[in-house]
Chains A and B, each alone.
Chain A
């Protein structure tokens, strides 16, 4: 087939994704940074001042840094999956007329979600660092490194979902219901220690639990993560990515028949 440099093509699709997300809004790309700050304001008001949420423990971090360190990675993860699930379906016109490696569409969509939310994440961490001083900013490189397996996990799930969505159109709706369940099944809004001891180990079955814990260890020195679970998380991410690629490749040839 055509010898195309997928790098240029992926870049173009990335540009397009960014524009699709931000040109509709007035402030353009500034919105990408503004949005997380507004979100942060709302959360700190609701959880800290209305619910009086507090993390147990003597040297526990404030609730807002506690929430932010897990919620932003989650936002990147869930938004990437939700958006890319319908990306093949939305580009039916292009797929029907031009031969292109379709994985690029999913890749570009996942990349965009991660780029937007990582930028927001870093911005908020800096704001919190200046405001409260709770953030161990030296943990930032490790935190960014954690995004790598998270990205692989999201990409694997997205590839499979985008391919299946072509055949079963209910998947996107279903995911809208399932992803919040997954979020509440991981210690994003609460601390694992608050749960009854009998329930606590079950939380580890949720792939996101590791990331929620690990981001907090890196940035807040809160809780602990064993090396074993790091290895498990990396292996799981790699396996999910491989499975996603297999499913996508398997169904790829039949997209046109069902779009």
Chain B
């Protein structure tokens, strides 16, 4: 096991509620004389986090989930309200835009200050200055005051300083998003080299692409608590699925009177499990869907089974009458059928499997039952399903256009 660089235990942060100026005076008195304080808004609770040397951790979460607060606690800008955080080694932090630059001073002066803040002395700075200016690549703006910079230039300058430091632990907070395409590429390439050289990274980003590309582990913060932590693909997929479910249209479920409609679903199961807990499946694994249908008049129903993405996007649907099958009669007015997928080509993510009974003609839908399914896997392919494909040498003549 490599050395533990960041160790957080029961870490929490709460801000005092300050509405009137008299609150400030009271807070001051409490802090100076008793130490305790009341009335706080908690933004981060009970976070345990371990980051080892050479690890790369992506922090994800919705806005206001506490990601930036956690970074500030790690870098020591904030002091924890509860719990503790220990950081070993030199930390290079790029928190928010500006990174503490003074708007009135030139880029060059701000580099000097930032370098001093990171512990470089004058000689060391002179040695690295050309490298920093080259990395920032903002031309003559380097001698202009920072207040005239575009937000992209500020990030370039901030990143250039950090890049030259090669810290033990690099902490960046959603800064890549501001840079343009070529600078983003440069940063990502630099971070990859840095990680290959044994660097340690904590990255906050809303771009799952960057997270998956750069990080091996991820931690998902939801409302100030760790919702999930572990392998980057598992966590990012769960996080995206949560977003999809949140934005899925809330369809009003028709209140079906199961005994009076002609056909209704008695039960369904995925791989033999009938619980409503999502079924975890590895990418490419087989899946069996079983269902039992009640038929009021003992007529043979048709059964449709469909798969949708968690946000409601349909992926695939098929019914017994399309394929010329009939459900089996298992009792009076009770039919059952089973559908098997030998190797499910769904890409990692969260899906819903739905069962609908239809009239024998396959025209009218009577009922719906659904179960969720989570596909896991480490792949960066895009879309919903893996299409059968194969790369090959170009066929002579085919690609040649006049």
Q: Which residues of A contact B (CB under 8 A)?
A: 1-5, 8-9, 11-12, 16, 93-100, 164, 167-169, 247, 250-254, 256-258
Please name 17 pairs of A and B residues whose Cβ atoms are closer than 8 Å in the assembled complex, sorted by A.
Answer: A2-B118, A4-B118, A8-B116, A9-B116, A9-B119, A97-B99, A97-B100, A98-B100, A99-B91, A99-B93, A164-B28, A167-B24, A168-B25, A169-B21, A254-B79, A257-B15, A258-B16
Across-interface contacts of B28 in A (CB, < 8 A): 164, 167-168, 251
Judged by a CB distance under 8 angstroms, whether B120 is at the interface is: yes
Closest to B104 in A: A20
7 nearest interchain CB pairs?
A253-B79, A4-B119, A99-B76, A167-B28, A98-B100, A12-B116, A97-B100
Interface of B is mostly: mixed
With contacts A97-B96, A97-B98, A257-B16 taken as known, whether A1 is within 8 angstroms of B27 at the C-beta atoms is: no
Task: Report whether A167 and B25 are in contact in the complex, using a CB–CB cutoff of 8 Å.
Answer: yes
Task: Report whether B102 and A9 are in contact in the complex, using a CB–CB cutoff of 8 Å.
Answer: no
Q: How far is the CB of A24 from chain B (nearest CB, A)?
A: 10
Q: How far is the CB of B158 from chain A (nearest CB, A)?
A: 10
Closest to B27 in A: A167
Task: Report whether B31 and A3 are in contact in the complex, using a CB–CB cutoff of 8 Å.
Answer: no
Across-interface contacts of A99 in B (CB, < 8 A): 75-77, 91, 93
Task: Report whether A8 and B95 are in contact in the complex, using a CB–CB cutoff of 8 Å.
Answer: no
Judged by a CB distance under 8 angstroms, whether B18 is at the interface is: yes
Task: Report whether A16 and B102 are in contact in the complex, using a CB–CB cutoff of 8 Å.
Answer: yes
Task: Report whether B31 and A93 are in contact in the complex, using a CB–CB cutoff of 8 Å.
Answer: no
Instruction: Known pairs A16-B105, A169-B24, A258-B16; list 20 more (Cβ under 8 Å).
Output: A1-B87, A4-B116, A5-B121, A8-B122, A16-B102, A93-B98, A93-B100, A95-B77, A97-B100, A98-B93, A98-B100, A99-B75, A99-B93, A167-B25, A167-B31, A168-B21, A169-B21, A247-B32, A250-B32, A253-B79
Across-interface contacts of A9 in B (CB, < 8 A): 116-117, 119
Task: Report whether A4 and B18 are in contact in the complex, using a CB–CB cutoff of 8 Å.
Answer: no
Tell me which of B24, B32, B72, B120 contacts A8 (CB under 8 A): B120
Task: Report whether B119 and A3 are in contact in the complex, using a CB–CB cutoff of 8 Å.
Answer: yes
Judged by a CB distance under 8 angstroms, whether B78 is at the interface is: yes
Across-interface contacts of B84 in A (CB, < 8 A): none
Q: How far is the CB of B197 from chain A (nearest CB, A)?
A: 20
Task: Report whether B18 and A258 are in contact in the complex, using a CB–CB cutoff of 8 Å.
Answer: yes
In the docked arrangement, what's the CA distance between A247 and B18, Å?
A: 21
Tell me which of A12, A97, A167 contacts B77 (CB under 8 A): A97
Judged by a CB distance under 8 angstroms, whether B112 is at the interface is: yes
In the docked arrangement, what's the CA distance between A252 and B77, Å?
A: 11
Judged by a CB distance under 8 angstroms, whether B90 is at the interface is: yes
Task: Report whether A96 and B112 are in contact in the complex, using a CB–CB cutoff of 8 Å.
Answer: no
Judged by a CB distance under 8 angstroms, whether B369 is at the interface is: no
Closest to B78 in A: A256
Judged by a CB distance under 8 angstroms, whether B208 is at the interface is: no
Q: How far is the CB of A6 from chain B (nearest CB, A)?
A: 9
Q: How far is the CB of B184 from chain A (nearest CB, A)?
A: 21
Q: How far is the CB of B38 from chain A (nearest CB, A)?
A: 13
In the docked arrangement, what's the CA distance between A11 and B32, Å?
A: 31
Q: How far is the CB of B229 from chain A (nearest CB, A)?
A: 24
Judged by a CB distance under 8 angstroms, whether B6 is at the interface is: no
Judged by a CB distance under 8 angstroms, whether B65 is at the interface is: no
Judged by a CB distance under 8 angstroms, whether B113 is at the interface is: yes
Closest to A251 in B: B31
- Bitwise, B214-236 to A at CB < 8 A (1) or not (0) is 00000000000000000000000
In the docked arrangement, what's the CA distance between A258 and B76, Å?
A: 16
Across-interface contacts of B99 in A (CB, < 8 A): 97-98
Q: How far is the CB of A13 from chain B (nearest CB, A)?
A: 8
In the docked arrangement, what's the CA distance between A119 and B21, Å?
A: 40
Task: Report whether B121 and A16 are in contact in the complex, using a CB–CB cutoff of 8 Å.
Answer: no
In the docked arrangement, what's the CA distance between A166 and B96, Å?
A: 23
Q: How far is the CB of B74 from chain A (nearest CB, A)?
A: 10
- Bitwise, B81-93 to A at CB < 8 A (1) or not (0) is 0000001001101
Task: Report whether B117 and A98 are in contact in the complex, using a CB–CB cutoff of 8 Å.
Answer: yes
In the docked arrangement, what's the CA distance between A253 and B81, Å?
A: 9
Across-interface contacts of B113 in A (CB, < 8 A): 12, 16
Across-interface contacts of A164 in B (CB, < 8 A): 28
Q: How far is the CB of B200 from chain A (nearest CB, A)?
A: 15
Task: Report whether A98 and B79 are in contact in the complex, using a CB–CB cutoff of 8 Å.
Answer: no
In the docked arrangement, what's the CA distance between A130 and B53, Å?
A: 67
Across-interface contacts of A98 in B (CB, < 8 A): 77, 93, 95, 99-100, 114, 117
In the docked arrangement, what's the CA distance between A5 and B25, Å?
A: 35
Task: Report whether A256 and B77 are in contact in the complex, using a CB–CB cutoff of 8 Å.
Answer: yes
Task: Report whether B121 and A8 are in contact in the complex, using a CB–CB cutoff of 8 Å.
Answer: yes
Closest to A24 in B: B104
Across-interface contacts of B87 in A (CB, < 8 A): 1
In the docked arrangement, what's the CA distance between A190 and B290, Å?
A: 102
In the docked arrangement, what's the CA distance between A258 and B91, Å?
A: 25
Task: Report whether B31 and A168 are in contact in the complex, using a CB–CB cutoff of 8 Å.
Answer: no
- Bitwise, B1-45 to A at CB < 8 A (1) or not (0) is 000000000000001101001001101100110000000000000
Task: Report whether A254 and B122 are in contact in the complex, using a CB–CB cutoff of 8 Å.
Answer: no
Task: Report whether B100 and A250 are in contact in the complex, using a CB–CB cutoff of 8 Å.
Answer: no
- Bitwise, B308-352 to A at CB < 8 A (1) or not (0) is 000000000000000000000000000000000000000000000
